[in-house]
Structure 1
Amino acid sequence: MIGAIEAGGTKFVLAVADDKRQIVAREKIPTTSPEHVLEETIDFFKQYEIESLGIGSFGPIGVDPARSDYGYIKKTPKVGWSNFPLLLKLKNAFNIPIYWTTDVNVAAYGELQEGRGIGKKNLVYFTIGTGVGAGLILNKQIYTGYNHPEVGHLIMKPVVGDHFTGICPYHESCLEGMASGPAIEKRIGHSAKELTTADNEWQTEAFYLAQACVDVTVMFAPDIIIFGGGVSNQEQLFPKIRSSFLQQLGGYVDTPPVEDYIVHAALGDDAGIVGALLLADKARDSSVSLSYTE
């Protein structure tokens, strides 16, 4: 058996699957204190004889095994979680191979292998929800550098008439600060659930998401751009994003047909847990240790 954790800022999703990656048990835990979440997580997996674990965590996180912050959730506004050694705690509890990466990377990998990215080599996966992040797959491999990419903090050029300055405490008018779920609500002054599908706010949202698509297009030239997360479940967004993308790109570079290039995640909310299970399988079968190293 293999295990998976999609460690989000709102909830942890835990899953155990058999050797065919069929889920046999699943549980959700609210992301409260690290001590409480860790205890419940360990208790859940102790019920099963798991051979490996795939973890996608909210961040920023340490991703370089050669650095002292590897396996840590680093500086985060999530109370109590800054500088928390999540990977080490789980490694000490289970002593099994563990694949460790970001929550958006596991979703990107899930879509690569079993979703809209099947048959592609290079993709960008955006999650648009409480926060905004992106996972990069280059030549079918999860990309990380000195840190993992933080595409959600690309600085945005404001749409004409939008005087909103953003909510990001670090950069204000970055993608997350301008286009996350909380940013939408701050701009309009009420719950986004009250918006109709025809509300002009979706055009504003589409402008910023399209601008992000232009940015990653000229930087990485992916084969496909996939959107997941709660905000992206608004179907009326996609024609608006595609139209704005074409206008903002201005024909500068070629892309696949825009209807096939900017798309919604096929796996929906399951992309992360599917990807984490795939990476757990990879960790179990790899001859290279992917677990915590001191």
Structure 2
Amino acid sequence: MGERIYGCVEAGGTKFVCSLGNDWGLISERARIPTTTPEATLAAVRAFFAAASAAHGPIAAYGIGSFGPIDRDRGSPGWGKILQTPKPGWSGTPLVPGIVGEARVPIGFDTDVAAAAMAEAAIGGIGGVVVYVTVGTGIGGGVVVDGVPLDGERHAEMGHFRVPRHAADLGFAGRCPYHGDCLEGIASGPAIIDRWGRSLSELPEDHVGHDIIAQALAHLSVTLIATLSPRRIALGGGVLHTPGLIDRIRREARAIDNGYLLPGEAIDAVIAPSALDGDAGLLGALMLARRAAEMA
């Protein structure tokens, strides 16, 4: 059997990143397609894969990691769709058919953060529970157990629960259209700009915004440690590029936990920057494609 070629898609709320891969890694240049309307975005994705497969060979399987919420239940008539999402115009979009067209090949489909968690666990050789959290346009988290995405009634939506509010931030109502001041509503990139007119990395080092965002993300981290006991919480996304933010999150997490769940040095080891960050989602999509091909 010849080399298998896989179509890989990281479908994000800001951009879709597409590439081809094989059993050893990514093999073609990436296309970064702005997430505009479903029709325009998905047409550009299909055009990329038509051209890429003409150059590299037929696609044996697709791996798609998508922003959510999504219907990932293969027994559901809505499998492959975007569900009710804060992203304007995308609720109900049949994402998988929109990407693969008429192709009849195996398809691995999950959230972008679950795909990224698969890649983080694999690259780090980490067994057990691994969580990947992204903080950018939105906030999302994916969980894998021994490299396999956690399977439940639906997928995790870690950005949409409420955390205790910082005393200096009680006047901000939050920007989530469904929950107001849920975690995503107060700590995502757009929520930061709503309050202070700049990204977190552009604020002065002594600005209270750093403490507000670090505290919110520390509460998420401690909640994950208390409920899932992960070996790693890999933090990625644009907001996490802010210098010093992960160290602030660790300090806040140690204070919140107060030595109960884990000693301080263990919390510091669990809460870590993404080992792959910009590549995690796309490499996770490649892993979804490989897994789908193996299970077919």
Which of 271, 276, 279 is matched with 1:262 structurally? 271
What SS is found at the alignment partner of 1:76?
Answer: coil
* Pair 1:147–1:27, CA change in 2 (3 A): same
The aligned counterpart of 1:95 is 104
Equivalent residue for 2:252, pick from 235, 244, 259 = 244
Kept in 2, the 8 Å contact 1:211–1:245? The answer is: yes
1:173-192 correspondence runs (5 A): 173-192=181-200
Q: Structure 2 CA distance, aligned partners of 1:99 and 1:281?
A: 8
Residue 23 of structure 1, CA deviation: 2.3
Q: 2:150 matched to 1:143?
A: yes
Alpha-carbon distance, 1:269 to partner: 0.8
Find the counterpart in structure 2 of residue 109 from structure 1.
Answer: 118
* Contact kept? 1:3, 1:52, Cα under 8 Å: yes
Contact 2:138–2:184 (8 Å) recurs in 1: yes
- For structure 1, the residue ranges without an aligned partner over 5 or more in a row are 288-294
Q: Distance in 1 between matches of 2:261 and 2:105?
A: 46
Q: Deviations over 1:111-163 (max 9, x none)?
A: 1111xx42232111110001000001123320131111111112111112222
Q: 1:204 to 1:24 in 2, by over 3 A?
A: same
What does residue 197 of structure 1 align with? 205
Residue 259 of structure 1 aligns to which amino acid in structure 2?
Answer: D
Distance 1:193 1:262 in 2: 20
Matches within 5 A, 1:18-167: 18-47=22-51, 48=53, 49-114=58-123, 117-163=124-170, 164-167=172-175
Q: Is the 8 A contact 1:63 1:144 kept in 2?
A: no
Kept after mapping to 1: 8 A contact 2:200/2:239:
no
Task: Name the SS of the counterpart of 2:65 in structure 1.
Answer: strand
> Equivalent residue of 2:215, what SS?
helix
Q: Provide the aligned length of Structure 1 versus Structure 2.
A: 285
Q: Compared with structure 1, are the counterparts of its residues 44 and 189 closer, same or farther at alpha carbon in structure 2 (3 Å cutoff)?
A: closer
Provide the secondary structure at the position in 2 that maps to 1:270.
Answer: helix
- 1:86 deviation in Å? 1.2
Between the aligned partners of 1:248 and 1:90, the Cα distance in structure 2 is 44
User: What secondary structure is seen at the aligned counterpart in 2 of 1:137?
Assistant: strand
Is contact 1:210-1:242 (8 Å) kept?
Answer: yes
More helix by share: 2
CA distance in 1 between counterparts of 2:196 and 2:26 reads 42
Counterpart code for 1:16: L
Residue 169 of structure 1 pairs with residue 173 of structure 2: no
Q: TM-score, normalised by structure 2?
A: 0.91
Rounded to whole Å, the distance in 1 between the matches of 2:217 and 2:74 is 33
CA offsets, 1:3-55, max 9 Å, x none? 10001111100001234223223111111111112211111112211111100
Residue type of the partner of 1:181? G
1:286 is the counterpart of 2:295? yes
Tell me the equivalent position of 1:291. Answer: none
2:8 aligned residue (4, 11, 23): 4
Please name the residue that 2:228 is paired with.
Answer: 220
Instruction: Give the structure 2 partner of residue 290 of structure 1.
Output: none
In 2: Cα distance, 1:253 partner to 1:129 partner: 28
TM-score with structure 1 setting the length: 0.91
Matched, 1:233 2:215: no
Counterpart amino acid of 1:254?
A: L
Aligned counterpart for 2:18 among listed residues 11, 14, 18:
14
| CA drift at 1:192 | 4.0
SS in 2 for 1:29: strand
Q: Return the alpha-carbon distance in structure 2 between the equivalents of residues 267 and 233 of structure 1.
A: 13
